[in-house]
Amino acid sequence: MQEETRRAYLERMGIPVWVRREASPGASGEPVPAAAPSRRPPEPEAAGAAPAASLRHRAATLDWTALEAAVRDCTACGLHAGRTQAVFGVGDRAADWLIVGEAPGAEEDRRGEPFVGRAGKLLDNMLAAIGLARDRVYIANILKCRPPNNRDPLPEEVVACEPWLHRQIALIRPRIVLAVGRVAAQNLLHTDRPVGRLRGTCHFLELGALRVPVVVTYHPAYLLRSPLEKRKAWQDLQRARALYREARNEA
């Protein structure tokens, strides 16, 4: 990449071109991760909760219209009681790129769209830096409903919501998944490893016959608080773009 193009990409992401690269790869500066399950959590036991196996079977038969209606009316976990609306997802349903985040925040819950506000704007800029418009990708979350006070999703909430996301992935059949932030990465990949250790390599999400490469990066909200980490996010985006090109060439 020519220097002028590289600088234009970095400026679009809000990365000062004079920021020095870190001298030591061990000084990751990553956020301290909260504990997450290293194995699949148990099926939800709450009264009125749909059995996870039954929900997975049902979700696997739905087309886009039926899937969106099912998510809108979902009561599989307790989060439905406090939502303004379920946040289904947005974007190109035939996209090559799938962006997976954590859960709706207050503004997302109000508007019914993932990644809005300052974090959403930064995500748009990150995508634009590698030549992608927001309407050319699909954006979804691990959870479709907002947890109270934006807390981390509970294991039973992730299990209850997972069939909806998995069906979206099966319908989209993306060539690359970008897992944005700790909660998204750990729950998508079923691991408790921190983001700093999940970055820098290619993971795979396997759903039946579908096997999709997954790249992990920092959440835009974290990058707003820690702008020097944007350079690492830029490296992640470059890695994702390279893997996408490989997947497209192999098709």
Q: What is the pLDDT of residues 145-168, one digit of tens each?
A: 999 998 999 999 999 999 999 999
Q: Is the pLDDT of residue 102 over 60?
A: yes
Global pTM value: 0.82
Specify the pLDDT at position 29. Answer: 41
d(CA 98, CA 121): 17
Q: Considering only CA atoms, which of 234, 223, 56 is closest in space to residue 130?
A: 234
Find out whether 184 and 214 touch, Cβ atoms under 8 Å. Answer: no
Q: What is the pLDDT of residues 214-224, one digit of tens each?
A: 999 999 999 99
**Listing from the earlier edge strand, what are the strands of the sheet with 90-91?**
90-91, 138-141, 97-101, 176-180, 210-217, 203-207
Which domains does the chain possess?
Answer: 49-250 (3.40.470.10)
Specify the pLDDT at position 249. Answer: 86
Q: Is the pLDDT of residue 93 over 60?
A: yes
138-141 and 203-207 strand pairing = unpaired
Quick one: which H or E segment has residue 158? helix 155-172
Q: Measure Cα distances from 149 to 41, 82, 130, 152, 171 in Å.
A: 22, 11, 33, 9, 32
* Over residues 108-135, mean pLDDT: 96
Q: Considering only CA atoms, which of 244, 212, 246, 81 is closest in space to residue 147?
A: 81
Please report, rounded to a whole number, the percentage of residues in the chain having pLDDT higher than 90: 74
Q: Which residues pair with 203 in a beta bridge?
A: 214
Specify the pLDDT at position 233. Answer: 97
d(CA 113, CA 126): 18
Quick one: which H or E segment has residue 121? helix 117-129
Q: What is the pLDDT of residues 18-43, one digit of tens each?
A: 444 343 333 334 444 444 444 444 44
- Would you call 187 exposed, middle or buried from its count of C-beta atoms within 10 A (0-12, 13-18, 19+)? buried
Find out whether 210 and 173 touch, Cβ atoms under 8 Å. Answer: yes
Specify the pLDDT at position 32. Answer: 42
